[in-house]
């Protein structure tokens, strides 16, 4: 477990963010909010995939009433995502939002922000101040003395200071850009300038599956490995369930949280004498249905195979046309190639 | 461009590693090395995908002659990957290897390492000292006073010191583990203890496509963003072309090197009023055939859409059933939803 910076703890429904709580995985629905059934069905799928908190866009006043129905029926806390119209944010809070995200760049005057904070304070729900490089407050955006990460940070810090001056400190902050170095630097500035405020990490508009996964993993992984970040949302132009899967892979890779098994499998090379890729893929697919935090090694040759396989809970080290199955370092049995995947799965199930 | 630590420069064939050279992308063939035709065909595909240097396993003495044929015909420099038998390493060098990778944990005595270094020195090719958590030198592996990252680093540093004592300093070092925090810490130690030596980054046995991509991006991205690393190999239990693609995505995401276009595309949400995912995917696939380093934005709504779309070289900001096409911030035209992808591609091609 990496040392993480200690912030205030904020509560979104029954989920704690910051103050030493585990990193919270978020996503956002992409169904029309007015379609309550489709949205709730997506929320249920996202919860099953490991989503802790869900954000739902409330783009119009007409969407507020269905949003309230979604909040009441959702199995996980729901945050309202509101742009332009502060009255929608206030109404969403009154309809049961567990939190509200507003963007200082487009919500209007500080007076309007204060009205939202009043409603949030009355309801006891936090506000996420979500700054975005694509929609910066024009006043900050024009400051030639600051580079983009500094503008992102300055915008967020200004709003936090304003709200704290009004007696409202139940806030989470984000400052997203689609450029990874900009995102990293903006969050590093935030963690120095407002160390008490929980940070919501994200690389925005990161792109389709492969590019978006890599940009998010590099950006969020770098920050988390520095101890920065209390909650995250991976942004992908893909099914939101993939955002949740990638989010979990990022925090699991750093040992910050663990969900289900880990598969240690070697890249193949000219030494491999079995069809390892399909075996690893079959085992990987089967592991998706298992919640236990076991480590499973699928290794193709004698170089690192026996060492890794015996260090795992269950493992196989493959030789020419066969595989040696290990359990906690002890050889269980040797099976021919076409039985490796099934034997490994049998051993995994037997050990649960 | 991030500030990177300055190391000695090493040459693998005509490719420079370290000393301020661009980060070099490597992969490894998984065809039998004795199958020269299949191996060369895979090398050609990997070169087309962006692979700068290729590693080929030489597992037996019988594989040395075909390895020599591969070296002579390969369009990119070839490194021999050798375990256990130092004579194979010597023979591979004499058969034209542009470099050789040996593992201190299994190559045997220091005397044998010295014979390999003599052959490398005569041929003018570098040695990669490739330490691996799964196959540590037993003497180092048993040191209870060190944790695993310290053992990995100590093993590599010891071999570098030994070779430098023998007058051989044409080395690159790696210290890979399948655990990301262990890998990060091991390389941080190496960059402090042997700052002059170019480092080859990798998270080993990272797993299948999604998990392996995330673990590699988090581990290598964190190190590169700290200025550590001169070359990398992403290890995936998948087609090696995917390793090259992910490697490029990692270095591109940090602005260290750029290959082809960047797609900025938003995650969809309840505000999106067009079918954005298929549009972004179609544009993404079309961009794979384009080498120009342009930025293309595909945005789903009015919140960040116009800002991002106008900041890109070519972009679209979508509204209800239509999209506004921008070029360098200037509106070009508005097209109905079913023509967005084709209009965007037309504009991209017109601008090349």
**What is the dihedral sign for C-alpha A229, A259, A307, B145?**
positive
How many angstroms separate the CA atoms of B255 and A316, rounded? 39
Cross-chain residue pair B218–A215, CB shorter than 8 Å: no
Q: Which residue of B has its CA nearest to A237?
A: B267
Helix pair A209-225, B180-193: axis angle to 10 deg: 60
How many angstroms separate the CA atoms of B51 and B46, rounded? 5
pLDDT digits over B262-279, tens only?
888 888 888 888 888 888
Number of cross-chain residue pairs from A and B with Cβ atoms under 8 Å apart: 254
Instruction: Say how many C-beta atoms besides its own lie within 10 A of residue B143's C-beta.
Output: 14
Share of residues in chain B with pLDDT > 90 (%): 68
Which residue of B270, B285, B317 is the best one to mutate when testing the A interface, meaning the one whose CB has the most A CBs within 10 A? B270
pLDDT digits over A119-128, tens only?
999 999 999 9
Lowest mean pLDDT among B44-58, B105-119, B235-249, B336-350: B336-350
pLDDT digits over B124-137, tens only?
999 999 999 888 88
How many angstroms separate the CA atoms of A290 and A259, rounded? 9
Assigned superfamily of A3-253:
Dihydropteroate synthase-like (3.20.20.20)
Give the gap in angstroms from C-alpha A313 to the nearest C-alpha of chain B: 15
Answer whether B61's CB lies under 8 Å from B50's CB: no
pLDDT value of position B43: 98
How many angstroms separate the CA atoms of A348 and B17, rounded? 43
Give the gap in angstroms from C-alpha A339 to the nearest C-alpha of chain B: 19
Q: Is the ipTM of this complex over 0.85?
A: yes
- The H or E element spanning position B185 is helix B180-193
- Chain A contacts of B184, Cβ < 8 Å? 225
Cross-chain residue pair A237–B280, CB shorter than 8 Å: yes
B340: tokens are: 């967005």
Report residue A233's pLDDT band, with 50, 70 and 90 as the boundaries.
very high
Q: Tell me which residue of A107, A112, A109, A45 sits closest to A81, measured CA to CA.
A: A107
Cross-chain residue pair B303–A103, CB shorter than 8 Å: yes
Q: Is B24 helix (H, G, I), strand (E, B) or coil?
A: strand
- Chain A contacts of B103, Cβ < 8 Å? 303
**What is the dihedral sign for C-alpha A203, A204, A205, A208?**
positive
Q: Give the residue with greater pLDDT, A182 vs B207.
A: A182
For the entire predicted model, the pTM comes to: 0.92
pLDDT over threshold 80, residue A276: yes
How many angstroms separate the CA atoms of A145 and B28, rounded? 47
- Chain A contacts of B28, Cβ < 8 Å? 267, 269-270
| Residue given tokens 């390895």 in the structure block | B67
Lowest mean pLDDT among B180-189, B256-265, B306-315: B306-315
Which residue of A55, A103, A134 is the best one to mutate when testing the B interface, meaning the one whose CB has the most B CBs within 10 A? A134
Q: Is B212 helix (H, G, I), strand (E, B) or coil?
A: helix
pLDDT value of position B200: 98
Among B221, B245, B264, whose Cβ lies nearest the Cβ of A205? B264
Q: Tell me which residue of A66, A62, A86 sits closest to A78, measured CA to CA.
A: A66
Instruction: Say how many C-beta atoms besides its own lie within 10 A of residue B321's C-beta.
Output: 12
Cross-chain residue pair B284–A208, CB shorter than 8 Å: yes
- Chain B contacts of A218, Cβ < 8 Å? 217-218, 220-222, 224-225, 250, 253-254
Which residue of A270, A297, A310, A326 is the best one to mutate when testing the B interface, meaning the one whose CB has the most B CBs within 10 A? A270
Answer whether A215's CB lies under 8 Å from A203's CB: yes
Cross-chain residue pair A243–B308, CB shorter than 8 Å: no
How many angstroms separate the CA atoms of B52 and A59, rounded? 48
Report residue A75's pLDDT band, with 50, 70 and 90 as the boundaries.
very high
pLDDT digits over B62-80, tens only?
999 999 999 999 999 999 9
How many angstroms separate the CA atoms of B130 and A231, rounded? 36
Q: Which residue of A has its CA nearest to B225?
A: A222
pLDDT value of position A292: 83
Give the gap in angstroms from C-alpha A113 to the nearest C-alpha of chain B: 18
pLDDT value of position B3: 60
| Residue given tokens 């240097």 in the structure block | B53
Cross-chain residue pair B211–A249, CB shorter than 8 Å: yes
Non-local (6+) Cβ contacts of A158 within 8 A are A104, A140
Cross-chain residue pair B214–A28, CB shorter than 8 Å: no
Q: Tell me which residue of B54, B60, B118 sits closest to B84, measured CA to CA.
A: B60
Top-confidence range, A240-244, B134-138, B204-208, B274-278: A240-244
The three state secondary structure string of chain A is CCCCCCCCCEEECCEEECCCCCCEEEEECCCCCCCHHHHHHHHHHHHHHCCCEEEEECCCHHHHHHHHHHHHHCCCCEEEEECCCHHHHHHHHHCCCCEEEECCCCCCCHHHHHHHHHHHHHHCCCEEEEEEHHHCCHHHHCCCCCCHHHHHHHHHHHHHHHHHHCCCCCEEEEEECCCHHHHHHHHHHHHHHCCCCCEEECCCCECCHHHHHHHHHHHHHHHHHCCCCCEEECCCCCCHHHHHHHHHHHHHHCCCCCCCCEEEECCCCCCCCCCHHHHHHHHHHHHCCCCCCCEEEEECCCCCHHHHHHHCCEEEEEECCEEEEEECCEEEEEEEHHHHHHHHHHHHHHHC
- Chain A contacts of B262, Cβ < 8 Å? 207, 211
Answer whether A237's CB lies under 8 Å from A208's CB: yes
How many angstroms separate the CA atoms of B320 and B104, rounded? 62
pLDDT over threshold 80, residue A147: yes
Among A180, A243, A265, whose Cβ lies nearest the Cβ of B267? A243
How many angstroms separate the CA atoms of A327 and A309, rounded? 8
- Chain A contacts of B308, Cβ < 8 Å? 134, 178, 205
Among A180, A204, A269, whose Cβ lies nearest the Cβ of B28? A269
Q: Tell me which residue of B327, B320, B330 sits closest to B349, measured CA to CA.
A: B327
Give the gap in angstroms from C-alpha A227 to the nearest C-alpha of chain B: 12
Give the gap in angstroms from C-alpha B188 to the nearest C-alpha of chain A: 13
- Chain B contacts of A134, Cβ < 8 Å? 303-305, 307-308, 311
Report residue B1's pLDDT band, with 50, 70 and 90 as the boundaries.
very low
pLDDT over threshold 70, residue B2: no
Report the DSSP pairing between strands B322-327 and B330-336: antiparallel
Cross-chain residue pair B268–A2, CB shorter than 8 Å: no
Cross-chain residue pair A179–B255, CB shorter than 8 Å: yes
pLDDT value of position A123: 98
The pLDDT of B155-176, averaged and rounded, is 96
A262-351, which class in CATH? Answer: alpha beta
Q: Is A144 exposed, middle or buried (0-12, 13-18, 19+ CB in 10 A)?
A: exposed
Among A56, A205, A225, whose Cβ lies nearest the Cβ of B184? A225
Share of residues in chain B with pLDDT > 70 (%): 98
Give the gap in angstroms from C-alpha A4 to the nearest C-alpha of chain B: 14
Cross-chain residue pair A270–B30, CB shorter than 8 Å: yes
Among B214, B243, B269, whose Cβ lies nearest the Cβ of A213? B214
Report residue A290's pLDDT band, with 50, 70 and 90 as the boundaries.
confident
Instruction: Say how many C-beta atoms besides its own lie within 10 A of residue A109's C-beta.
Output: 9
Q: Give the residue with greater pLDDT, A312 vs A227.
A: A227
B100: tokens are: 């050789």
- Chain A contacts of B303, Cβ < 8 Å? 83, 103, 106, 132, 134-135
Cross-chain residue pair A178–B281, CB shorter than 8 Å: no
Answer whether A344's CB lies under 8 Å from A295's CB: no
How many angstroms separate the CA atoms of B98 and B110, rounded? 22
Answer whether A70's CB lies under 8 Å from A95's CB: no
Lowest mean pLDDT among A206-220, A245-259, B216-230, B265-279: B265-279
Q: What are the extents of the domains in chain B?
A: 3-253, 262-351
Report residue A1's pLDDT band, with 50, 70 and 90 as the boundaries.
very low
> Please, what is the Cα angle at A142 between A136 and A147, to 5 degrees?
80
């Amino acid at each position: 477990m990496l040392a993480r910076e200690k912030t205030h703890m904020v509560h979104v429904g029954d989920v704690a963010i910051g103050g030493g709580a585990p990193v919270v995985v978020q996503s956002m629905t992409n169904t029309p909010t007015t379609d309550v059934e489709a949205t709730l069905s997506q929320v249920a799928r996202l919860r099953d995939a490991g989503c802790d908190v869900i954000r739902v866009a409330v783009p119009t006043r007409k969407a507020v009433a269905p949003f309230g129905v979604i909040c009441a029926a959702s199995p996980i806390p729901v945050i309202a995502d509101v742009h332009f119209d502060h009255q929608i944010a206030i109404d969403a809070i009154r309809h049961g939002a567990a939190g509200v995200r507003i963007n200082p760049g487009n919500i209007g005057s500080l007076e309007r922000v204060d009205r939202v904070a009043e409603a949030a304070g009355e309801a006891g729900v936090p506000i996420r101040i979500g700054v975005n490089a694509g929609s910066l407050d024009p006043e900050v955006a024009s400051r030639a003395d600051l580079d983009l990460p500094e503008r992102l940070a300055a915008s967020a810090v200004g709003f936090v200071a304003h709200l704290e001056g009004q007696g409202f400190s139940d806030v989470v902050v984000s400052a997203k850009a689609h450029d990874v170095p900009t995102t990293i630097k903006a969050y590093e500035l935030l963690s120095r300038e407002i160390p008490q405020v929980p940070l919501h990490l994200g690389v925005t508009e990161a792109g389709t599956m492969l590019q978006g996964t890599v940009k998010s993993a590099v950006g969020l992984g770098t920050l988390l490995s520095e101890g920065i970040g209390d909650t995250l949302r991976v942004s992908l132009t893909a099914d939101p369930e993939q955002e949740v899967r990638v989010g979990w892979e990022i925090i699991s890779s750093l040992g910050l949280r663990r969900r289900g098994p880990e598969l240690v499998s070697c890249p193949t090379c000219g030494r491999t004498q079995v069809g390892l890729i399909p075996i690893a893929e079959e085992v990987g697919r089967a592991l998706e249905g298992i919640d236990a935090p076991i480590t499973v090694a699928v290794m193709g040759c004698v170089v690192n195979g026996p060492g890794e396989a015996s260090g795992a809970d269950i493992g196989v080290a493959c030789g020419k046309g066969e595989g040696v199955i290990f359990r906690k370092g002890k050889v269980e049995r040797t099976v021919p190639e076409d039985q490796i995947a099934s034997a490994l799965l049998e051993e995994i199930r037997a050990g649960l």
